[in-house]
Structure 1
C-alpha cells in the first residue's frame, strides 16, 4: 500500500511521460513551410500544414508530429508535414480567409488545390482527409480527392478557404445558412432535393455555413439566414426573395439559367409593413364609423 500519495503522483507522471515518449516516436520540430514551398513543389506532392500564430495557446503540433512520424516510415506516402506562420506570411493566410487558429491545411498541385480544417482535428480525421489508411503503423497512399469538384445531384459544401476560387468560374446557387437556424433546418430537405432535380444542368447547388465564414457572409451583405443567392463567375447577381418551396426554387434556378428571370417576389419587409399600416388605418376608420 502506498503511504505518501503526494510523493507518488509526480513519480507516476514522470513514468507515464516516459512511456508515452517510448510509444510515440515524435519529432521535436516540424518543417517550417512557406507559400514558396508549395508553389515550387511537384504536382504530386501533398502538404499537410498547421497554420498558426505565435500567441495562440491552443496551437499544438502534437498530432501533426505523430502523423509525420508515421509517414516517415513509408517513402511512397508523398506527404510533407509542416507549419506555416500566419504572422510571417500574413498575406498568404489572409488570401485563404483564415480567421481561426489553429487551422490545418491540406495542399496539393503546388498549392492550387487545398482544404482547410478548423481547430485541432484528431489523427483519424487527418488520415481520412488525406486519403490514407493507418493500420499498425503502415500507411498506404491514395490520390487526394479534389474538394473543389461539385458533384451533380449533390449539395456542395463550400468552405471559406476555397469559396472565392471555387465560384470564380460557372454558375452557382448558394444557400447561406447557420447550423442553429430553425428555418435553415426546415429548408435543408428541399435544398437536397433541388440539387437532385437540377443535376442535368450546368449548375452547382451549394451551401456555406456563415458561422465559420463570417468575413465572406459580411462581404456579400448576408443580413439573415437562410439567404439564397445566384452567383455567376464569382459575382452575386441575384438574391432570391420568393417562397422557400421546392417548385419555386427550381423555377427560379431555371429562369436564371435561361435568362428569363423576372422578380415576381420583389416585396420587402418594408412594403409588407406599409400594407399592414394601410390595413390597420382602414380597420380603425371602419371601427370609428360603426361606433
Structure 2
C-alpha cells in the first residue's frame, strides 16, 4: 500500500529526528546539571562518593548534607550550608561533607535518605541522627545545632536527640507531620517504604497489580506511570519518548509502565478512559497528565512534579516567583497554624503541577500587602491582583475538594495560551471565549499580547463594577421599601421588605486566551478559516455550546487585537448575539439536528409543521446510518475534534522549529486535548 509505506517512512524519519533530539536534550541537560552542581561546591564541605565514604567518616564526627542538584530546596539550602561550614571549619574533630544523591543513589538509599535535602550526623562511621526534616534551616539554627553537637563523641545517642532542634512547623519548607494521631500513624507506617532507590538504572519499571500496590499505592514515593496496551498505535508511537524519559529522570523520579491488557482490573479500578494514559502518583494521590507527549514536554512535567510542594518564601522570594509565573498561590500562616492544616495544604500541590506554584509564608510584609489579617489564609495572585479563598472555619481550610475546586477556578492566567494541557478548561460550553489568534514570530507580538491582556483585565474590572452597582441599586431599593413601610407604620410590610434578598444574577462566564496561529495553523484554518500568515493577528469570539463564533466587528470588519474594538464587539455579542453576523463550527450532521429542532419548535402547534419535522428527522436518521461506520462516530467530542493524522503530521516541522514539543506531533490531536488516545469501544 503506497500510502501506508509513505506513512511508515514518515514515522521512521520522525523517529530518527526524535532520537537525535533526545541526544541533544541529554547534552543540554548534562550541561545544566553541571551548572547547578556548582552552587553545592565548597572547600569546607567536600563531596563524598562510594569509594571514599566509609574511609572518610570512620574517624571523628561528620555532618553530611545529602542533596540532588535538581532539587530547588537543596539549591536554596546550599549558600546557608556553605556559610555555616566555613564559619565552623575550625571546630575540633567536627567536619562537614556533601553527598550527591542524583549521582550516588544507592549510597543515599543505604544511609536511609528519603527526601532532599537531608542533613545527617555521623560519629566514627555510625549514623547518630538526621537533622529534623521540618526544623528551621536558617544559618543561625543550623549553627546552633552544630555547636550543640560538636562534642557528640561524649554523648549517647539519646542525649544527642534531646538536644536536637525542635520542629518549627510555621517555618517548615516542606510538608509538616500531622499531630492528628490517625494521620501520624498512617505516615509512620508508610515512611519505611519511602524512597528506596530512585530510578537508579534509568529504565521504566513494568508494574503488575501486585507491584503497583506495594511500590506505588502504599508508599509516599513519587511515580510517573504510563498505562498502555500492546495493540494501541499511539502507545507504540510514544514508546521511544517514554524510554528516553526514564533515562533522563535517572536518580530523580521513578518511571513506570502498566500493560492494561495484562492488568485489566488495575486499569479499570483507576477509571482509565483511553490509551495511553499518563498519571503521576505520590502518597496515595494522583493527577493525570494531559499535556503534549513529546520528550521535552514530558521532561518539563516530570521536573515540575519532582519539585511539587509548598515552598517557603519571603517578600523577595515571592517577587522571583512572580517574575516567572502569571499565577501564584500563597498560603499565609502563623504560630497557631496546625500540622493538620499543613498536611491539607500539601495535598493540593499535586493538582497544581503545571498550573501554578504553591507558596507559603509567615511574612508580615506580604500579609500587609495583601491585607491578610486572619490565619491561615489562602489566596491566588493573578497579574498582581489577589483572589481570596473563602473559609468560614478550620474545616474549610482542610476541605481538599473545595480547595481544589476553587484553585481550578482561578489557576488560569488572565490571558492564558491555549495548549494541550488547558484546552478542555478554556474552550468549554459554560463560557464565551475571546480567542486571539497570534503570530509569535511577528515583531509586535509582545505588544499585541499585552493589548489583549489589558482588554481582559478591563473587562473583568467592568464586570466587577457592574456587579457592585447592581448590588448597591438593589440595597437602595430594599432600604427605600423599609423606610416607606416604617413611615406607614406597616409592621408586616417592614418585615417583608427586610426579608428581600439582594441577589445578583450570575452573567455568562467570559474567558480570554491566545493561541499560536503558526503552530496550530491547520486546526485554526479548518475551524475558523483564518491563516495568520495571510491575515496577521486576528481575534474571534467563540461560543462552544452553540458551536458558533464571531470574527467581525459591528461594522463588518475583521476583529483586530485592539482593546477598544475587542471589548465593543464582545459587549455587543453578549447583549444580542444576533446583532453581529456569526459563523458556525457545526458539522453537517449537527446542523441537520439543529434544523430539525428549530423546525419542530417553530411549528410545534401545526400538523404541517410536524410533518416537516418528521421529514427532516428522517434525513438525519439516514445521515447517521450512512456515517455510522465512519471516523466521526468514534470521536469523543472536544475543541480539536476532527484534526486528522495528516493535519497533525503537517505540524511536525513547526514543532521542531518553534520549540513546542519535540517533533512528536502525531501525538497531539485529541478528543479532549491536543494528543491522541486509543479510546475504549
Q: Report the TM-score range of the alignment, normalised by the length of the smaller protein.
A: 0.5 to 0.7
Bigger drift between 230-239 and 162-171 goes to 162-171
Q: 1:249 aligns with which of 566, 581, 592?
A: 566
Partner Cα distance (2:259, 2:510) in 1: 35
Aligned in 2, Cα 1:210/1:129: closer, same or farther, shift over 3 Å?
Answer: farther
Aligned in 2, Cα 1:190/1:242: closer, same or farther, shift over 3 Å?
Answer: same
Matched, 1:115 2:263: no
Q: Which residue of 1 aligns with 2:442?
A: 181
Q: Which residue of 2 aligns with 1:25?
A: 200
Q: 2:543 aligns with which of 232, 242, 249?
A: 232
Matched, 1:160 2:477: no
Partner Cα distance (2:548, 2:207) in 1: 38
Partner Cα distance (1:194, 1:211) in 2: 23
Matched, 1:194 2:455: yes
Q: Which residue of 2 aligns with 1:219?
A: 526
Partner Cα distance (2:298, 2:274) in 1: 25
Aligned in 2, Cα 1:151/1:203: closer, same or farther, shift over 3 Å?
Answer: farther
Partner Cα distance (2:279, 2:248) in 1: 16
Partner Cα distance (1:107, 1:177) in 2: 33
Aligned in 2, Cα 1:129/1:218: closer, same or farther, shift over 3 Å?
Answer: farther
Q: How many matched pairs?
A: 213
Assess if the C-alpha contact under 8 Å between 1:231 and 1:237 holds in 2. Answer: yes
Aligned in 2, Cα 1:150/1:25: closer, same or farther, shift over 3 Å?
Answer: same
Q: Offset at 1:248?
A: 1.3
Q: Which residue of 2 aligns with 1:128?
A: 304
What is the aligned-residue RMSD (CA, Å)? 4.9
Assess if the C-alpha contact under 8 Å between 2:225 and 2:278 holds in 1. Answer: yes
Indicate the SS of the match to 1:199: helix
Q: Offset at 1:205?
A: 0.3
Q: Offset at 1:191?
A: 0.6
Q: 1:145 aligns with which of 349, 352, 361?
A: 352
Assess if the C-alpha contact under 8 Å between 2:415 and 2:453 holds in 1. Answer: yes
Structure number having the greater helix percentage:
2
Aligned in 2, Cα 1:152/1:69: closer, same or farther, shift over 3 Å?
Answer: closer
TM-score normalised per structure 1: 0.52
Aligned in 2, Cα 1:153/1:211: closer, same or farther, shift over 3 Å?
Answer: closer
CA deviation string 1:262-287 (max 9, x = no partner): 449xxxxxxxxxxxxxxxxxxxxxxx
**Larger RCO: 1 or 2 (CA < 8 Å, sep 6+):** 1
Q: Offset at 1:190?
A: 0.6
Q: 2:243 aligns with which of 61, 64, 85?
A: 61
Assess if the C-alpha contact under 8 Å between 1:190 and 1:245 holds in 2. Answer: yes
Partner Cα distance (1:230, 1:172) in 2: 6
Indicate the SS of the match to 1:194: helix
Q: Which has the larger radius of gyration?
A: 2
| Structure 2: stretches of 5+ with no match in the other structure | 1-50, 52-101, 106-198, 229-233, 261-272, 310-345, 356-407, 464-508, 553-557, 582-681
TM-score normalised per structure 2: 0.25
Q: Which residue of 1 aligns with 2:510?
A: 203
CA deviation string 1:54-95 (max 9, x = no partner): 4679635243355475445xxxxxxx744899xxxxx957xx
Partner Cα distance (2:245, 2:522) in 1: 28
Aligned in 2, Cα 1:151/1:71: closer, same or farther, shift over 3 Å?
Answer: closer
Q: Which residue of 1 aligns with 2:387?
A: none
Q: 1:258 aligns with which of 575, 578, 582?
A: 575
Q: Offset at 1:250?
A: 1.3
Indicate the SS of the match to 2:548: strand
Partner Cα distance (2:207, 2:519) in 1: 26
Structure number having the greater strand percentage:
1
Indicate the SS of the match to 1:223: coil
Partner Cα distance (1:193, 1:84) in 2: 48
Q: Offset at 1:207?
A: 1.2
